[in-house]
Structure 1
Amino acid sequence: MNAVWTLFRSNLRTKKVQNVLTTVLILLSTLLLATAMIVISNTQNLFSDMHSQTNGSHQMLMLENGLHDPKSVKQWWDVQQGVTASEMIPYRNLSGITHHGKEMNNIYMFMMDTPQLPITVDKLIGAQGNVGSAPEAGTIWIPTSLSYSNGIAVGDTVGFKTGKSTFELKVAAVVVDMPFGAPFTRNARIWMNTQDYKELLQPLQGKDKYMMGLRFDNYDTNTQYWERFEQQLRTPYLESKMEFESISSFYLIMNKVIGFVMIFLGAVMLLVALFTIGFTISDAILANYRTIGVLKSCGLSSFGIIGTYIAQYAFLSIIGIIPGLISSQFLSKVIVESSLSSLKTNRSELSVQGDFTAIIVGVSVLALVILCVLFYANKARSVQPVQAIRYGMSELDSNKSTRRLRWNGHHPVGFDRLPVTFVIGLRNLLKNVKGSILTLLLTVITSAVLVFGFVFLFSIHSIQQTAPSWGYDNSHIAVDVFNKAALSHTHFEEDMLSDPRIKNFGWIGEATGVIPSEPSERPGISDTPSMNVHLGVADGSYDDLGYTTLKGNNPRLANEIAIGVNVSKKLNKDVGDMITVYINGKKHSLLVTGIYQAIANMSYSARITADVFKEDHLDYSNAAICLINLHDSGLSDQVAKDINRKYKEALSAVTQKALLDSVYKEAVDLLIMPMSIMGLLFIVVTCIIIYITCRITIRKESKTYGIYKSLGLTSNRIRASLTQGIVALSVIGALLGIGVGVYVLPMLLENILSYYGILEVPLIMHWGGIMAAAFASIVSTGIGSWLSSRVIAKTSPRILVIE
């Protein structure tokens, strides 16, 4: 035991730099893995806790078109056991909002007639200001998602456009509003005083709409309730319905993406660290082969020698794991609070819990390190004392080495015909095959990670270029009509047709479609439940407006429909199948002509043409958005300003870039920090591992480099030769890593985004940035190699030769 302890202390004392860097590797691996696990678990837990605290709804019914009697719907759900129904709350829609004189684009508001609190379902939790029984006259409550993302604070005045006029109300409180308070949402419930609602909104054209939340004791049983409800109605439920999956999706999506990337990269980093530890142990055994033989001949058992390595790396692991776990608490808190800021209030911070999760990660990392050490250190058992003392290696390896030297001596093409600098670098790579393989793998991984991170961030930042692949249109300008009474469609269209700058335009509206329950064709499988889908309605050509499909085509005729990928999967429908859809209470049998992906509504949506309504002799009047394409996209800002100036009382024209930026700028801001941290960590890890492996090989070849120096080669020339060889190998690895980062890693991300309706992640290949990202891995490799060779410059040739 005393011998093991002595060797343990010797290894720590004589290999200080190598031990420190190994500890840093374990620390960084632990940091990434623990942070990812804490982020994922807390994201779900914080959402679930707030959802329970507010008695949040699992489904939100929006009765907008008068197809069902609100009182009858309310009465039926009120008497159901196991379901809690909220009040049936009246509301009106508005889409024009200003703050400090600046109009906020792409925000659609539900102006709510606030009932007396407390509300039974979806209770409002005060984040800022005082939440009483109801907003006072002249004031409103707004959700945290609207407040935090647009800088609206308590006491600010907000203006609302009704078309005919604009009215202003003062923000009295900011509230956590679960169904419409997720990050990135463009919908917001504005809670008004009842008297204000009656005076300001009810005189406007149109009728009140109604909203009601349902909370189930057991959400899994909701299908049974809906079957009975639709039997009572004697028809499918024909109005809008928002499911729990849609409510929760945007609370969870960002941290799921971040967590997935961090777990993947953390696991890769840990595997690289384990491989490096194994490489170091294998090299240490070979380098100390004769010493191990002497120790064995003196009576030290193989287990004692193995125990030395176990003690060393267990000690280093504990030193690295503890600060890694502590750091993960702070990093995960920053990520969670930034991505779930809409759940944060001034009265209570987000409570990030992760002690138990962190301990599990730490114990797992320690166990993996010990198993790795056992596996590689077990080679010490095969050391035979006599062979070790005589050859410094096994007799078999000694014979192989001798044959290799003889064979190289008779090789027809020798190193003497090549430049000295090239020969030294090449010889270093060929003689240390394991180290060269590790270097190649590491640069492949690092460049792949950096390239993938850059491509993903750049693609989200430049989403305008791939908008159709995310389910959006590809038009240049979107015109939102907020006052239909003040706009003559005929006059507006004549102006658009006469403007030489405009290439084409079309109208897009919305409707709710209900796909009724269908009996299953397979025995033992339950019937397909009825499904509410968001319908896009085009009065014009989808293709001209830039909408695309993954499969098939957009609808062109009245009997055609294109469906989202999640609708296709859930109903098992493909191009060429017929589908039954209730639209405004009318039953339609439509032919599926295409399947598309869309992040909006999680692809639980479909596209039809306005001709569907014209077939029933209906005047489709919900087309409130006109999409405009220009001959020159560079004129988008000017054309939008001209339209706004001419029709300022009826509509708002905004460029597509402004609309997309309003949604995805927040996503980019949330992704930049964790992705940058992970990229920086991999660069550091690459530098550390290359330093360790090169330092080991230099120590083994110290005598050779001493001979080179004694023959007249300068230290810098030797160091440059070694670095050039490593850099050349890393260039090959970086090129391979580009392929992995561009083609392989996005496939893993698609597995997560497929749940949200994206089967093929639309990526933009900016090759200048890709090459720069890959070059960063080459630079880190070169720096690690150059720094590791400082020992050559510091040591005299005589000492090197003697060693």
Structure 2
Amino acid sequence: MNTVWTLFLSNLRTKKIQNGLTTVLILLSTLLLSTAMTVISNTQNLFTDMHTKANGSHQILMLGNGLHDPIVFKQWWDEQQGVTASELIPYRNLSGITHQGKEINNIYMFMMDTAELPFTVDKLIWAQGDERSTPEVGTIWIPTSFFYSNGIEVGDKVSFKTGKSTFELKVAAVVVDMPFGAPFTRNARIWMNTQDYKDQFQSLQGKDMYMMGLRFDDYDTNTQYWDRFEKQAGTQYLEYKMEFESISSFYLIMNKVIGFVMIFLGAVMLLVALFTIGFTISDAILANYRTIGVLKSCGLSSFRIIGTYMSQYAFLSIIGIIPGLAASQFLSKVIVESSLSSLKTNRSELSMQGNFTALAVGICVFALVILCVLFYANKARSVQPVQAIRYGMSEMDSSKWARRVRSNGNRPVGFDRLPIMFVIGLRNMLKNVKGSILMFILTVITSAVLVFGFVLLYSVYSIQRTASSWGYDNSHIAVEVFNQAAFSRTQFEEDMLSDPRIKNFGWFGNVTGVVPSELSDRSGDSNTSSMNVYIGVADGNYDDLGYSTLRGANPLHKNEIAIGINVSKKLNKDIGDVITVYINGKPYSLIVTGIYQAISNMSYSARITIDVIKADHLDYSNAETYFINLHDSSQSDQVVSDINEQYKEALSALTQKTLLDSVFKEAVGLLILPMSMMGLLFIVVTCIIIYITCRINIRKDSKTYGIYKSLGLTSNRIRLSVAQGIVALSVIGALLGIYVGVYLLPMLLENILTYYGIVEVPLIMHWGGIIGVAVVSIISAGVGSWLSSRVIANTSPRILVIE
């Protein structure tokens, strides 16, 4: 045992740098994997815990078109066992809000007539302000998602536009509102005092709409309740319904993307670390072959020799894993709190869990390191003492080496005809094949990670160029009508047609459609259940408005419809199939002309033209949004200003860039930290592993480099030759890494986003930036190789030759 202990301490003392860098590799692998697992588990747990605490709804129903009697509808649900219905809350829509003289864009508000608390479903959880049963007169409660993203403070006053006038209310409290509190949401429930609600909206044209939440004891049984409702009511539910999947999706999507990518890259980093450890052990056995033979001849067993390596790397693993786990708790908390800030309150911080998960990750990493060490150190069993002492290697390897040396002089083309610096670098690569393969793989991975992170961030930041591929329009200006009573569609369209700056325009509204259950006509497919679908209605050409499809085309005629990819999957419908949709209680049989993807509504949506509805309602008009294209897009800001000034009582105009930035810049902000961290980690790992590998190779060839120096080559020329070989290899690896980062890694992202309605991630290739970040991996490789060769400069030729 003393011998093993002595060898163990000797390995720690004589290889300080190598051991330290190996420990860093294990630490970084543990950090990445543990952070990813903690982020994923906490995201789901925090949302679930808060949803349970609020007795959150599984479905939100909006009754605004008079297709169901709200009172009768509420009474029916109150009579059902196993489901709890919330209060029937009256509300009105608004889209104009101003804070400290600045208009807040792209926020669509439900102005709620607040019933007395507590609510039975979707309880409001106080984040800031005094908790009361109802808002006081002149005050409102706002959701955390709206509060944190717009810099509003408790006590601030905000102004709302109702058309001809505005009214001002003071923010008295901030609440966690689960159905409309997710990141990136553009909807917000504003909770008003009943008297304020009556004073502001009673005189306005239009009528109250109603909102109600349903919470099921077992959410999976909700279809049975709706089937019962259809049978008893004699009709499907015909108004808007928001499902639990939509409620939860944007709470979870960002951290699922981050976590999944981190797990994959963390696993890759761990594999690289294990391969590096294996390479180091294999090289150590070869370098100490004669020493191992002597130890065996003195009676030291193979098991104890293997135990020396296992104890060494077990110690290094513990040193690396413990701080890695500790750092992961801090990092995961930063990521989760930034992405789920809407669930945070002043009264209670987000309670991070996952200590057991992190511990399990640490144990797995430790076990994998030990198994890797055991596998590679087992080569010490094959060392034969006599052969080791005589040849310094096995007899077979000695024979191969002798044949290789004798054959060198017979080669028709030798290194003597090539430049000396090129020869030294090439020889270093060819002589150490395993190390060269490791460095090549590493530069491929590092450049792929850097390229993928850059492409993803750049694509989200520049989403204006690919808006149609995300399911949005691609027009220059969007005009939202918030006061129909003060809006004249005829006058507005005449003004648009007479403006020479405007190229084309069209209006876009929406209705709720219901697809009834039906027997599948495809063999092997199950029957489909009824579903509510968000249906866009356009008075104009979808292509002109900037809407695109994955397959097929947008609808043009009154018997056509385009459907979202998730609707297509759920209903087993494809291009050319006929689909029956109930709109305003009337069935329409429409031909599917196209299939598209849209992150909004998770692709549970469809598109039709106004002609579909006008076939039965000639006077139908539901102009909620106008999309306008200009001849010169640079005039967008001026046109927006002119429209807002002329129609300030009825509508709000915004540029497409403003609308998209209000949503996706938040996503960019959340992605920057984890993607930058992963890129930095891989740069550091590349430098570390190449340093270790080159250091091992230089130690093995120290006698050769001593001869080079004694023949007159300077240290810098030798070091530069070695670095040139590594850089040349990393250039090839970086080129392959660009391909992997651009074409293969995005497939991982598509696997996650498919659930959210995106099957083809719209990426923008900025090749200047792609090449620039790929070069960083090359620089990292060059720096690692240059630093590792300092031993050549710091050691005299005589000592190198003696070694």
Q: Answer whether TM exceeds 0.5 for this pair.
A: yes
**For each residue in 1:225-258, what CA deviation from the matched residue of structure 2 results, as whole angstroms up to 9, or x when unmatched?**
1110111110110011000000000000000001
**8 Å contact 2:338–2:670 — kept in the other structure?**
yes
SS of the residue 1:598 aligns to? coil
Alignment-mate amino acid for residue 386 of structure 2: V
Query: Does 2:750 correspond to 1:750?
Result: yes
Query: Does 2:539 correspond to 1:539?
Result: yes
1:606 and 1:745 mapped to 2: Cα distance? 30
SS of the residue 2:754 aligns to? helix
With over 3 angstroms needed to count, the CA separation of the structure-2 counterparts of 1:140 and 1:618, relative to structure 1, is farther
SS of the residue 2:510 aligns to? strand
1:561 matched residue in structure 2? 561
**8 Å contact 1:533–1:605 — kept in the other structure?**
yes
1:331 matched residue in structure 2? 331
Q: CA deviation at 1:521?
A: 5.0
Alignment-mate amino acid for residue 26 of structure 1: I
SS of the residue 2:10 aligns to? helix
1:362 and 1:342 mapped to 2: Cα distance? 31
Q: CA deviation at 1:400?
A: 1.3
Alignment-mate amino acid for residue 628 of structure 1: I
1:471 and 1:202 mapped to 2: Cα distance? 37
Query: Does 2:466 correspond to 1:466?
Result: yes
2:558 and 2:523 mapped to 1: Cα distance? 34
1:170 and 1:243 mapped to 2: Cα distance? 32
**8 Å contact 2:261–2:748 — kept in the other structure?**
no
1:497 and 1:61 mapped to 2: Cα distance? 39
1:105 matched residue in structure 2? 105
Query: Does 2:380 correspond to 1:385?
Result: no
1:369 matched residue in structure 2? 369
SS of the residue 1:744 aligns to? helix
1:10 matched residue in structure 2? 10
2:328 and 2:470 mapped to 1: Cα distance? 33
2:46 matched residue in structure 1? 46
2:358 and 2:461 mapped to 1: Cα distance? 33
SS of the residue 1:43 aligns to? helix
1:748 and 1:68 mapped to 2: Cα distance? 44
Alignment-mate amino acid for residue 239 of structure 1: E
Alignment-mate amino acid for residue 131 of structure 2: V
Query: Does 2:69 correspond to 1:80?
Result: no
Q: Which moved more, 1:409-418 or 1:239-248?
A: 409-418
Q: Which moved more, 1:40-49 or 1:152-161?
A: 152-161
With over 3 angstroms needed to count, the CA separation of the structure-2 counterparts of 1:219 and 1:523, relative to structure 1, is farther
What are the within-5 Å matches in structure 2 for residues 316-465 of structure 1? 316-465=316-465
Task: Work out the percentage of aligned pairs sharing the same amino acid.
Answer: 82
**8 Å contact 1:613–1:619 — kept in the other structure?**
no
1:589 matched residue in structure 2? 589
1:726 matched residue in structure 2? 726
**8 Å contact 1:509–1:537 — kept in the other structure?**
yes
Alignment-mate amino acid for residue 780 of structure 1: S
Alignment-mate amino acid for residue 754 of structure 1: T
What are the within-5 Å matches in structure 2 for residues 610-625 of structure 1? 610-625=610-625
2:146 matched residue in structure 1? 146
Q: CA deviation at 1:519?
A: 2.7
**For each residue in 1:403-461, what CA deviation from the matched residue of structure 2 results, as whole angstroms up to 9, or x when unmatched?**
22222221111111111111110100000000100010000000000000000000000
**8 Å contact 1:202–1:208 — kept in the other structure?**
no
1:219 matched residue in structure 2? 219
1:680 matched residue in structure 2? 680
**8 Å contact 1:159–1:169 — kept in the other structure?**
yes
2:492 matched residue in structure 1? 492
2:286 matched residue in structure 1? 286
2:202 and 2:305 mapped to 1: Cα distance? 86
**What TM-score do the two structures reach when normalised by structure 1?**
0.99
1:338 and 1:717 mapped to 2: Cα distance? 50
Q: Which moved more, 1:793-802 or 1:403-412?
A: 403-412
**8 Å contact 1:537–1:623 — kept in the other structure?**
no
**8 Å contact 1:141–1:175 — kept in the other structure?**
yes
1:211 and 1:527 mapped to 2: Cα distance? 31
Q: CA deviation at 1:517?
A: 1.2
**For each residue in 1:714-741, what CA deviation from the matched residue of structure 2 results, as whole angstroms up to 9, or x when unmatched?**
1111101100100010000000000000
1:681 and 1:358 mapped to 2: Cα distance? 19
2:409 and 2:515 mapped to 1: Cα distance? 80
What are the within-5 Å matches in structure 2 for residues 249-328 of structure 1? 249-328=249-328
Q: CA deviation at 1:645?
A: 1.9
**For each residue in 1:669-699, what CA deviation from the matched residue of structure 2 results, as whole angstroms up to 9, or x when unmatched?**
0110111111101100100000000000000
SS of the residue 2:131 aligns to? coil
Q: CA deviation at 1:797?
A: 0.6
What are the within-5 Å matches in structure 2 for residues 124-203 of structure 1? 124-203=124-203
Q: CA deviation at 1:522?
A: 7.5
Alignment-mate amino acid for residue 268 of structure 1: V
With over 3 angstroms needed to count, the CA separation of the structure-2 counterparts of 1:435 and 1:154, relative to structure 1, is same
2:274 and 2:26 mapped to 1: Cα distance? 9
**8 Å contact 2:517–2:529 — kept in the other structure?**
yes
RMSD over equivalenced CA pairs, Å: 1.1
Q: CA deviation at 1:164?
A: 1.5
2:407 and 2:623 mapped to 1: Cα distance? 82
SS of the residue 1:756 aligns to? coil
Q: CA deviation at 1:492?
A: 1.6
1:490 and 1:520 mapped to 2: Cα distance? 45
Q: CA deviation at 1:553?
A: 0.4
Alignment-mate amino acid for residue 712 of structure 1: G
1:58 and 1:176 mapped to 2: Cα distance? 16
**8 Å contact 1:285–1:380 — kept in the other structure?**
yes
Aligned residues: 803
**8 Å contact 1:7–1:308 — kept in the other structure?**
yes
**8 Å contact 1:503–1:631 — kept in the other structure?**
yes
2:618 and 2:155 mapped to 1: Cα distance? 46
**8 Å contact 2:162–2:649 — kept in the other structure?**
no
2:788 matched residue in structure 1? 788
Q: CA deviation at 1:525?
A: 7.4
Query: Does 2:662 correspond to 1:646?
Result: no
1:636 matched residue in structure 2? 636
- Structure 1: stretches of 5+ with no match in the other structure: none
**8 Å contact 1:471–1:598 — kept in the other structure?**
yes
1:706 and 1:333 mapped to 2: Cα distance? 52
1:314 and 1:259 mapped to 2: Cα distance? 28
What are the within-5 Å matches in structure 2 for residues 475-554 of structure 1? 475-520=475-520, 527-554=527-554
**For each residue in 1:493-516, what CA deviation from the matched residue of structure 2 results, as whole angstroms up to 9, or x when unmatched?**
122122222111111111111111
**For each residue in 1:741-771, what CA deviation from the matched residue of structure 2 results, as whole angstroms up to 9, or x when unmatched?**
0000001110000000000000000001101
Q: CA deviation at 1:621?
A: 2.5
- Structure 2: stretches of 5+ with no match in the other structure: none
SS of the residue 2:755 aligns to? helix
**8 Å contact 1:644–1:653 — kept in the other structure?**
yes
Q: CA deviation at 1:520?
A: 4.2
**8 Å contact 2:238–2:513 — kept in the other structure?**
yes
2:624 and 2:178 mapped to 1: Cα distance? 27
1:114 matched residue in structure 2? 114
1:526 and 1:224 mapped to 2: Cα distance? 17
**For each residue in 1:201-242, what CA deviation from the matched residue of structure 2 results, as whole angstroms up to 9, or x when unmatched?**
122111110011000111111111111011111011001100
Q: CA deviation at 1:52?
A: 0.3
1:268 and 1:709 mapped to 2: Cα distance? 39
SS of the residue 1:743 aligns to? helix
SS of the residue 1:492 aligns to? helix
Q: CA deviation at 1:523?
A: 9.3
SS of the residue 1:55 aligns to? coil
**For each residue in 1:623-671, what CA deviation from the matched residue of structure 2 results, as whole angstroms up to 9, or x when unmatched?**
2111011111111111111222222222211110000000101110011
**8 Å contact 1:147–1:174 — kept in the other structure?**
yes
1:123 matched residue in structure 2? 123
1:311 and 1:465 mapped to 2: Cα distance? 56
**8 Å contact 1:564–1:603 — kept in the other structure?**
yes
